[in-house]
Amino acid sequence: MRAHEQFIAFRTILTREIRRFMRIWIQTLVPPAITIVLYFIIFGNLIGSRIGTMDGFDYMQFVVPGLIMMAVITNAYSNVVSSFYGAKFQRSIEEILVSPVPNYVILWGFVLGGVARGLAVGLIVTVLSLFFARLHIEHVGVTIAIVILTAILFSLAGLINAIYADSFDDISIIPTFVLTPLIYLGGVFYSIDLLPDFWAGVSKLNPVLYMVNAFRYGVLGISDINILWAFTMITGFIVAASWYSLYLLNTGKRLRS
Amino acid sequence: MTTALHISKLKKIYDDGFEALKGIDLHVQQGDFFALLGPNGAGKSTTIGIICSLVNKTAGQVEIFSYDVDTHFSEAKQQIGIVPQEFNFNNFEKVKDILTTQAGYYGMPASLAEERAEKYLKKLGIWDKRDIQSRNLSGGMKRRLMIARALVHEPRLLILDEPTAGVDIELRRSMWQFLQEINLAGTTIILTTHYLEEAENLCRNIAIIDQGLIVENTSMKNLLLTLQKETFVLDTRNSVQNDLSIDGYDVKRIDEHTLEASLEKSQNVNALFMQLSEQGIEIASMRNKTNRLEELFVALVNKQVEE
C-alpha cells in the first residue's frame, strides 16, 4: 500500500471513529458533561467553599484541571475499548483485517479516534468549568501537550483491553477496578502534600498523578511533581503501549484464529 | 495462464490441537469459477480464513496472483474480495457508509469510493436502501450488501463462503446470474456452498475437501463423467402394475404413477424406454432423483470416512 493510500485508510478509520461517537452523542458527550457539572457543584461549590484554598488557589480552581483530565482519560479509554471490542463482537473488525491496511495504521486510526473524543469531551468540560471558576492558562504549550499525550496513552490502554476482552464484562473490569481508583487517588481532588510521607510516596507510583499534576501545572502553574519527569514517563508509557499494541496486532492474538 | 490462487502444503493446527488442514495443495486459474466443497468442519472456512488472513496458518504457502501472503501482504490482499458465511458488518452503519468505508481501507479516494458504492449497490439492487442502517435490511439484502462490499475495490479474486445460505430461490437465481456476469467480465470466483446444484451449474472446476485433505480436484465435467450410476424418477401417464419387471435394468415401482430406475454408466436410457413402451408404459416426465454432483460428493466423502 502506497503512502497516500495508507493515509486514506487512516483517515477512513479516524472518520468512522468520530462518526461513531458523534452518532451516539447522547451516550458519549452528554454524560461526562453532566457528571462534571455535578462534581463542580458538589466538590467545588458546596464542599469546596468550606475547604478554603489549596496550594494558594480556591479549591474550585484547584480541582478544575484534575476534573478536565479525568474526563479526557475516561473518554479516550472508553471510546477505543468500546469501539474496538464492539467491532470484534460484531465481527466487523474483519472488514479491516482482510484489507491491506498495515497494522500501525489500524492502531493509530483507533487511537486518534479515542484522542478525538477525549479532546472533544475535554473541551466541553473546560467550557462548562468557566461557569464555575476563573480559568487562566499559565503554560499553553504544556497544557496542550500533556492533554494530547494523556489521551494517546489511555486510548492505547483501551485498545489493549479491547484486544484481550472476550466479553462486555472484560471491558468494564479495567475501568472499574483499575482506572477509577488510579484517577481518584491521582491528585484530582487534593495535593499529595496533604498526605503523610508514606502515602505521598505511594501516590508517586501512580502514573495518573503525573498527568494530572503536569496538566495542573499547565493551567495554574503549580505541581506536586517534576514536569520534565512527568513528560518523560508519559512518553515512555506511550512507546511501551504502542509497541505492545502493535505486537498484538501483528501476531493476531485474540483477533485471528 | 496466470494462477489466481496457489496453495502449497497448507497446514493448520488450532490451539486445542485440532488439525483442520493436513497439508493441502490447491490451484485456481485466473478467470475460473471454482467450487470448494466439503461437509461441515472439513476445512473450507479455515482455508478461506487463511487466504484472507483471518486465520494464522501453521505451515505452507499461499500465493494470490503470484503475491505471497507472507512477504507481499498488501499486494496479495488488494487482489481479494471476501464474502463470508456470517454477516460481519456494523449493524449501526448505513448501507452506503459500509461500502465507502471499506473502499477507504483499500486506499480509494472518497469520490471513487462514492462512485463504486453507487455502482455496486445499484447492481445488487439495494441502492434505494443506501441511507438506512444495515440492521434494518432483510436477510437477502444483507447477503447482497456483503457481495457489494467485497466488490467495491474490484478484486481479481472473489471468494464467496456460502453466499446463498438462507436466500430464497428467486434471489438465489438473480445472484447466480450476477456472479456469472462478473466471472465473464474476468473476475476469478471461488465458491463454497452446500447447494450442490449451485456448484454444478456455476463452476467449471472443483475441489472437494474432507477432514483437512483434498479428496478430489478436477474439472466439473471430468468429475461428473466418473459417476458410475444415476438414479432417475419417471412419472408415468398410465398406471403401473405391481409386478413390473424390466430385463437388465434396476427399476422399482414407487407408486401407481412413479418409477425409479437406476442406470449404470454403460446402460442406455433409450433401451429402457423401449422396454417400458413395449409394456405399454408411457413416460410423462423424467428427472434425476438427486443432483449428480450430490451423488458423487456423498460417495467421495463416505469413502473418506470408511478409510
CB contact (8 A) between residue B77 and residue A95: no
Q: What distance, in Å, lies between the first and last C-alpha atoms of chain B? A: 36
Sorted by where each starts, the structural domains of chain B and their CATH numbers stand as 3-225 (3.40.50.300), 229-306 (3.30.70.1560)
Residue B4: partners with Cβ closer than 8 Å, 6 or more residues away: B28, B29, B30, B31, B32, B64, B65, B79, B156, B157, B188
Identify whether the C-beta of residue A98 lies closer than 8 Å to the C-beta of residue B80.
Answer: yes
pLDDT tens readout for residues B276-295: 888 888 888 888 876 666 76
Q: Residue A247 and residue A253: Cα distance in Å, rounded?
A: 9
**Bigger pLDDT: A56 or B149?**
B149
pLDDT tens readout for residues A8-67: 999 999 999 999 999 999 999 999 999 888 888 887 677 877 777 777 788 888 888 888
What element of type H or E holds B68? Answer: strand B67-68
Q: Running DSSP on this structure, what letter comes out for residue B43?
A: S
**Predicted ipTM?**
0.85
Residue B266, classed as helix, strand or coil, is: coil
Residue of B54, B74, B93 lying closest to A98 (CB–CB): B54
Q: What mean pLDDT comes out for the span B126-145? A: 91
Question: Sorting pLDDT into bands at 50, 70 and 90, what band is B223?
Answer: confident
φ, ψ at B187 (rounded to 5°) = -80, 130
pLDDT tens readout for residues A91-111: 999 999 999 999 999 999 999
Contacts of A19 in chain B (CB under 8 A): 97
For residue B110, give the C-alpha cell: 472518497
Question: Sorting pLDDT into bands at 50, 70 and 90, what band is A245?
Answer: very high
Residue B185: partners with Cβ closer than 8 Å, 6 or more residues away: none
How is chain A classified by DSSP, letter by letter? Answer: --HHHHHHHHHHHHHHHHHHHHHTHHHHTHHHHHHHHHHIIIIIIIIHHHH-EETTEEHHHHHHHHHHHHHHHHHHHHHHHHHHHHHHHHTTHHHHHTS---HHHHHHHHHHHHHHHHHHHHHHHHHHHTTTS----S-HHHHHHHHHHHHHHHHHHHHHHHHH-SSTTHHHHHIIIIIHHHHHTTTSSS-GGGS-HHHHHHHTT-HHHHHHHHHHHHHHS--SS-HHHHHHHHHHHHHHHHHHHHHHHHHTTTT--
Question: Which residues, numbered 122 to 181 in chain A, qualify as contacts with chain B under a Cβ-Cβ cut-off of 8 Å?
Answer: none
Residue of A97, A100, A252 lying closest to B78 (CB–CB): A100
**Bigger pLDDT: B43 or B229?**
B43
Which residue of chain B comes nearest to A251, CA vs CA? B56
- What single letter denotes the amino acid at residue B202? L
According to DSSP, the residues that pair with B298 across neighbouring strands are: none
Q: Residue B287 and residue A23: Cα distance in Å, rounded?
A: 56
